[in-house]
Structure 1
Amino acid sequence: MNKQGRSSAVDAGLEHQELFPIREVSRLTGVNPVTLRAWERRYGLIQPTRTASGHRLYSQADIDDIRSILGWLERGVAVSKVGSILVRCQAQVQQSSDLMNVRLAWQQQILEAVQRFDSASLHRLFDQVLAGHPLDQVFGDIFMPVWHDLAAGQGGYGPRAFGQASAWLFLDQFLRGRVFVRLQLARMARSRTVLLAPLPGPCHELELLVTALLLGSDEVGVSLLAPGQPLQELMLICERLKPDALVLFSNQAPTVELSKRLERLVVGLECPLLLAGEVAELAQDSLAGSPVACLGAESSVMRQRLRQFLAGQLDT
């Protein structure tokens, strides 16, 4: 085959397989071909495929690795050390992908049990997930995404599909029961006590229960007030219960008057006032410098910030 024919064949192969010759990779990355060959031969950092005639062909993944290598070199890492770093990074990516696949598999099984209204299977799945995952993952990564999808009309039902409301209510009732049981089991004397109350407005009881469960720890016990709790009566309750902190929860956007209502409330409280849930994320800027501390919306972050605040290590 003449040179032009070989070139055409290679070009066709590259287009089909999304592979690139070394000169094109050099142009795309700014790394000269001599260096690319050295990284391959001396350090094993990249392993391009070869044509029948021995020409190197690089995939998009190889190009991404080359750019990653450049990034580590720019940070001052010796080229001889980059290989082990890349291996660890690739292992972490693979582990993350494997975890995601496991979570999706659990979610699918949960959804199928909910679609069958199969309480026994749902209890079995909950116990299995609980045995193999931390509480944050049990709810945040596995069960609550299914709950949210059903609430939004997803999860295989489609918007306004017949049976969607019943399926969501079935899962909601199941999870409220399981979380309530765990909260009861956790009712032990703790060195610190936090009172958790919902902000006025729409609030799903399950989200409040899960927040109470995930905020608690060996040092911090959480007492929970039900949805519908009047905001103006919280001063009276705190006066009687004397918690170490009052945490107000909501996953709704903050209202225009929220800051003023919180400022009035905090004046009459004898304990610190904190905000948790999506409202804490959205109101954080407007409350900066106020006596109200924002814990955020992600469970592990909320728990960590709560501990820091109670220890005097977190400013409002």
Structure 2
Amino acid sequence: MNKQLSASTSAADLDYQQLYPIREVSKLTGVNPVTLRAWERRYGLIQPTRTDSGHRLYSQADIDDIRSILGWLERGVAVSKVGSILARGQALAQDGWAASSADERLRWRTQVREAVQRFDGASLDRLFDQVFASNALDQVFDEVFMPVWHSLRAGHANFGQMSEWAFLDQFLRGRVLMRLQLVRGPRRQQIVLAPLSSGALELELLVAGLLLSSDEVSVVVLAPGQPLDELTLVCERLSPDALVLFSNQQPTAELGKRLARWVLGLGCPLLLAGEAAEMAQDHLAGSPVACLGADGSLMRKRLRQYLAGQLDT
């Protein structure tokens, strides 16, 4: 249920609470008010605060959600499917952050955003280390850094935000690559992680690789642009225990057939990860392709189960 605010709320109070009217949100996000209302009424994607007179007021979190919606739409995900993605992320956040308040998560994200706006790499370094020291790996990315990254990327139409996104993207890629180097070493099992589509972004791929890594499993991350028809060659030379294809884009109708053809020539098991795995899971049920899902801890758990022969495809 939407919260209610007094119509007498002052401009200063609104500024303190960081609440914005719909026209301001439209300017900030590039989404016209008619569409914002449709996303609220028809799909329940946004739940802005209401004044007693019925005027909508949006928080920074609402604006971040709007930009996240835009990001999924750009990847080809239907607007009717976006709600389930957002809901799943919110449910996982509530479970994973039982000991932390929403205010703390917002505080971390606000500090990250402010450091990025100043192009302050030293502050980002300190924040990254602080968040890592007090939170699980999944929470560091899912609840702090990646929401800011997604929001800046979706807001690229606003002057300066593309530069801010590029700054944060470069910083995070460097830190994740460093973490991947630290977890490399002799492991009982090895997997290859490759992008399923040409639209894959390197940071998302690297984060997925880090989240799939464990004391038992090492991950070789192939770069965006990896030719899919050469994956058989890569797997022949590396002899991995499995090949994981990653995508956050809407799966095509032909995906199942393509994956079935690849399975025949790979010489190793084929798995699917990312939002594409969530959306294609029912379609691929009973096929040789296992779906790991999109959440970090779930991907890790299902990968471990699959490699142990305990996960049905």
Match of 1:132? 134
1:215 to 199, 203, 212: 212
1:185 matched to 2:187? The reply is no
What SS is found at the alignment partner of 2:219?
strand
So what's the TM-score if we normalise by structure 1?
0.67
Equivalent residue letter for 2:227 = P
1:304 to 301, 305, 311: 301
Runs of 4+ deviating beyond 3 Å: 95-98
Structure with max Cα Rg? 1
**RMSD over aligned Cα atoms:** 1.5
CA contact (8 A) 1:200 1:230 kept: no
Equivalent residue letter for 1:258 = L
So what's the TM-score if we normalise by structure 2?
0.68
Match of 1:174? 171
What SS is found at the alignment partner of 2:288?
coil
> Structure 2: how far apart are the matches of 1:299 and 1:96?
17
Q: How many residues align?
A: 219
Q: Deviations over 1:35-69 (max 9, x none)?
A: xxxxxxxxxxxxxxxxxxxxxxxxxxxxxxxxxxx
Match of 1:105? 107
Q: Deviations over 1:197-255 (max 9, x none)?
A: 00123011000000000100000110111111111111111111100000000000101
Match of 1:41? none
Match of 1:279? 276
- Report deviation, 1:185: 1.2
1:245 to 225, 242, 267: 242
> Structure 2: how far apart are the matches of 1:268 and 1:193?
19
> Structure 1: how far apart are the matches of 2:241 and 2:99?
41
> Structure 2: how far apart are the matches of 1:202 and 1:304?
26
State the percentage of identical aligned residues: 68
Equivalent residue letter for 1:223 = V
Structure 1 unmatched ranges of 5 or more = 1-91, 154-158
1:255 to 252, 255, 259: 252
1:118 to 116, 120, 126: 120
- Report deviation, 1:98: 4.3
> Structure 2: how far apart are the matches of 1:247 and 1:97?
33
What SS is found at the alignment partner of 1:139?
helix
Matches within 5 A, 1:1-316: 96=98, 98-153=100-155, 160-316=157-313
The structure showing larger relative contact order (alpha-carbon pairs under 8 Å, at least 6 residues apart) is 2
CA contact (8 A) 1:200 1:229 kept: no
